[in-house]
């Protein structure tokens, strides 16, 4: 009798924190937003991180559990507080961030349980922010080395001064896909010594240098592009009224990965990801409730274009 193995989770690896927005605190952190969205789109999802042994840590883990995300890979740090970031929104709803330092995810040192979880991942998304300390950087790369069966995606999320050429370089070397936005691309290119060029040209240089399978670039209301070794796909953005942009990029990444794992083509991946990101931007915070049905209905907008 053949018994099929259960599918491994889609994993967010890195920071878990509170987004302290003008209207109140919301659970967040790019990998956490990503994991929530992957689960909302119908896939098992898990988080690998660290939270403090404090009320805010227990609350955010309770919220994650209630939203269906596996938190068995989140360690509890008795010495350092749960992460938080102060979020300021400009008149267009675009978010600007000020992160607290010396928090639990800065001391992320993987346990055997976390290593085992990483080894079962179908896909794992990590970023540069959570590598701002040597301890967490080492821990993240140790887990990536164990994710041998996973699609590994690097979200080059440049925040404040918490990045450098070495971290970006080593992260892209570990990845199969890279995701950046149009502000991050020229900064990343300069740090890596790539010649100036268009977004498409620079994305292709990144893809070739690091032997990537795909580079995704989001451009806010202008849309997005996907670069593969033999093609460039372009997609307009879903026209929406923006409440805030917190988590929209993370939703985009989750949408791409979900549809890729489901066997979709690149243009369909872009449409789904753009729709999920657009709906997320109409709601407050990085982890708003969004249903798969809403995204599938919203994606029909592009059928008429």
Asked whether residue 1 is domain-assigned, the answer is no
Alpha carbon distance 275, 255 (integer Å): 9
pLDDT tens column, 132-157: 999 999 999 999 999 999 999 999 98
pLDDT tens column, 234-283: 999 999 999 888 899 999 999 999 999 999 999 999 999 999 999 999 99
pLDDT tens column, 218-235: 999 899 999 999 999 999
Alpha carbon distance 212, 55 (integer Å): 41
Asked whether residue 216 is domain-assigned, the answer is yes
Alpha carbon distance 40, 62 (integer Å): 17
- Antiparallel, parallel or unpaired: β 214-218 and 177-181: parallel
Domain count within the chain: 1
Asked whether residue 164 is domain-assigned, the answer is yes
Alpha carbon distance 130, 15 (integer Å): 6
Structure tokens at 234: 């372009």
Asked whether residue 2 is domain-assigned, the answer is no
Taking the model in full, what pTM does it have?
0.93
- C-beta separation of 136 from 122 below 8 A: no
Residue 235's CATH number: 3.40.1190.20
Structure tokens at 243: 């409440």
The string of DSSP codes covering 13-64 is: ES--EEEEETTEEEEE-HHHHHHHHHHHTTS-EEEEEEEESSHHHHHHHHHH
pLDDT classification of 22: cutoffs 50, 70, 90: confident
Asked whether residue 186 is domain-assigned, the answer is yes
Asked whether residue 4 is domain-assigned, the answer is no
Asked whether residue 231 is domain-assigned, the answer is yes
Asked whether residue 5 is domain-assigned, the answer is no
Which structural domain range is residue 259 located in? 10-304
Q: What is the DSSP letter of 70?
A: B
């Amino acid at each position: 009798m053949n018994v099929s193995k259960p599918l491994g989770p889609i994993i967010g690896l890195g920071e878990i924190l509170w987004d302290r927005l003008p209207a109140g605190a919301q659970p967040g952190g790019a990998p956490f937003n990503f994991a929530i969205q992957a689960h909302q789109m119908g896939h098992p999802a898990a988080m690998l991180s660290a939270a403090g042994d404090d009320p805010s840590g227990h609350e955010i883990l309770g919220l994650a559990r209630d939203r269906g995300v596996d938190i068995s890979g989140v360690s509890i740090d008795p010495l350092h507080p749960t992460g938080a970031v102060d979020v300021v929104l400009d008149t267009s709803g675009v978010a600007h961030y000020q992160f607290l330092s010396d928090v639990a995810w800065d001391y992320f040192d993987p346990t055997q349980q976390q290593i085992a979880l990483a080894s079962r991942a179908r896909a794992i998304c990590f970023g540069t922010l959570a590598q701002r300390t040597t301890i967490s950087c080492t821990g993240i790369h140790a887990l990536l080395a164990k994710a041998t069966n996973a699609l590994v995606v690097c979200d080059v999320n440049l925040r404040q001064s918490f990045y450098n050429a070495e971290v970006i370089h080593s992260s892209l070397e570990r990845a199969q896909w890279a995701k950046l936005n149009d502000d991050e691309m020229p900064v990343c290119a300069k740090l890596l010594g790539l010649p100036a060029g268009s977004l498409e040209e620079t994305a292709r240089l990144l893809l070739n240098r690091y032997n990537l399978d795909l580079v995704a670039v989001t451009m806010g209301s202008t849309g997005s592009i996907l670069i593969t070794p033999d093609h460039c796909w372009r997609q307009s953005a879903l026209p929406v009224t923006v409440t805030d942009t917190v988590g929209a990029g993370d939703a985009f990444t989750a949408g791409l990965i979900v549809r890729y794992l489901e066997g979709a083509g690149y243009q369909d991946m872009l449409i789904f990801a753009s729709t999920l990101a657009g709906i997320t931007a109409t709601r407050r915070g990085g982890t708003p409730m969004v249903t798969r049905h809403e995204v599938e209905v919203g994606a029909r907008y592009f059928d008429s274009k």
